[in-house]
Amino acid sequence: EIPVTELLTRQLVDATFQEFAALLLQPLDATGSSNLQFRLGDELLVRLSRQPVVAGRLKRRRAGLGYWVTACR
C-alpha cells in the first residue's frame, strides 16, 4: 500500500498544478480501499491510489490529465 497523506497530496498538487496551490485541500471520509479522495477548493476532487498496480496505470493516463483540467474550467 502506498502511504498517501494530506501533506503529500498538497505537495503533489502544488508542484503539478501551481494554479490550484491556493485552494483549500480537505480529506473526504467516503473513500474506498483502493483510493483516497480530497476535496480541492469548492469544485475539484483529487483521487490518489493506495495500490501500486493502479498507480502504474494512472501514469499512462497522465498525458490526458492536462486536457481534463482545461476542459473542466
CA–CA separation, 59 vs 71, rounded Å?
20
Q: Tens digits of per-residue pLDDT, 3-38?
A: 888 999 999 999 989 999 999 999 998 656 778 899
CA–CA separation, 64 vs 31, rounded Å?
24
Q: Tens digits of per-residue pLDDT, 55-69?
A: 556 666 655 555 555
